[in-house]
Copies of this chain bind each other. A is one copy, B any other.
Amino acid sequence: METSPRAHVDSPDPASLPHVVVVGGGFAGVSAVRALAHQAVRVTLIDRHNFHTFLPLLYQVATAGLEPADVAYPIRTIFGHAKNVRVRHARVSDVERERNVVVLEDGTEISYDHLVVATGAVAAYFDIPGAKNYSMPLYTLANARRLRNRLLRSLEDAEVAAETVPKELNFVVVGGGPTGVETAGALSELIEIVIRRDGMKLDPVNVRIRLVDVASRLLTAFPDRASSYAREELESMGVDVELGRSVVEVEPHAIRFSDGERLEAGAVVWAGGVTAVGTIADQLEETSGPNGRALVNGDLRLRDSDNVWCVGDAAAIPQRGDPSKFYPQLAPVAIQSGLHCSKQILRLLEGEATEPFHYRDKGIMATIGRHAAVAKIPHVGVIRGTVGWMAWLGLHLWYLVGFRNRLRVFINWTWRYFDWPSGPRLIVADAETAK
């Protein structure tokens, strides 16, 4: 039994309790709602999908290592036990702050006492011509599936060409951060496995993976030696790491660099960064923060609001100690900010003052292949190799999964992960268009 001073309610009277509306069912939104479940509030969680997506493993879906269902989880199931939580599968078209109302695309209005905006981010293309239309980002399940279909279809086409006029097939990954590094590594393994195990006639030498970044090293959020390690590992896996190169244009099946090179590419993966521009968060403030994120106070409320909060990737959260800087857009920040926000809402409803958010750094990690990773962990430093990989696995498959049936999900993923060589390399787009 909890001894919390707050009432623990299972069947609140809908009309009598304050209504908290949370928009977005990602790490931040789910974390916020979990903290409000069974409390003396009514909660409505709105998401355009009926599932929560485990973003850090999307690159695995894109490279056919995991299935969509392995990294997605029905939102209703997460909160099925919480009678004060209502899930709404819908898109939000507008927020009318004067009236305290959220408007759905079908015109339905939902009024709130407190609104939590947790709408995440989208890929940032920096106005590079063609990037938005022809490169492939990795920020939603749909992105991952589309990229997977493209990769597999390109290999099928190259296999047919190999019988007559073999030519080079390039996959270009733009962005040397964790997403780019992880995608390039997994892609290298996918290609090696597919060609060898499926007995393709395609010569692996003709399939090249290029990881490109304008910076002078990979993983700039990590120390130098982690960057060098990642580069060496990737190169040993056959990935061409091309640093100090910038992209000036993306064409339907090619990419152009600032040094004039034009390269034909089976796919251009866009891992160049994210922005909140174009999301609900972007519309909330006239003076928005970096990357279109909504500027919030230390307690995570919008600077000019009493009851509108913003958390996760959508929020520009000032760092405690140095408010001129903002916390990075990371899953642990999203989870912790969602939780903090809900605690402050409950404090306000109890008549207490809010407290400022402070991020407890859990470290950052990037996996390079199936058996190598680097991690930077506070008070520990940089770990790498197989130990880094185990740390990566532990963090991703355990800490970040905040559901009741954590163990089941853990076993499921682990099995699928190691079962990978026989895995599901299906070109599903074909199935969809088939009669």
Contact = CB atoms under 8 A, between A and B. Distances in A.
A51 B86 CA distance: 39
Q: Give the interface centre of A199, A415, A434 by most chain B CB atoms within 10 Å.
A: A199
Contact of A198 (B74, B422, B424): B74
B80 A434 contact: no
A50 B152 contact: yes
B431 A142 contact: yes
Interface in A400-431: 405, 408-409, 412, 415, 419, 422-428, 430-431
Interface residues of A, number: 55
A89 B435 CA distance: 16
Contact of A74 (B67, B72, B87, B426): B426
A50 B142 contact: no
Given A156-B50, A156-B89, A432 B200 contact: no
Copies in the complex: 2
A419 B412 contact: yes
Contact of A431 (B141, B160, B408, B426): B141
Given A89-B156, A434-B48, A68 B426 contact: yes
A80 B430 CA distance: 21
Given A77-B198, A79-B199, A419-B408, A50 B435 contact: no
A81 interface: yes
A51 B82 contact: no
A50 B412 contact: no
Nearest to A198: B76
Contact of A77 (B82, B85, B141, B197): B197
A49 interface: yes
Tell me the interface secondary structure of chain A in the complex.
mixed
A11 to B, nearest CB: 12
A85 B201 CA distance: 11
B140 A199 contact: no
A169 B5 CA distance: 43
A422 to B, nearest CB: 5
A433 interface: yes
Nearest to A81: B199
B69 A424 contact: yes
B426 A51 contact: yes
9 contacts: A50-B152, A51-B431, A68-B431, A72-B424, A80-B198, A89-B427, A141-B428, A142-B434, A432-B432
Given A68-B424, A77-B425, A142-B434, 8 more contacts: A49-B431, A49-B434, A67-B424, A68-B426, A69-B423, A140-B435, A145-B431, A408-B419
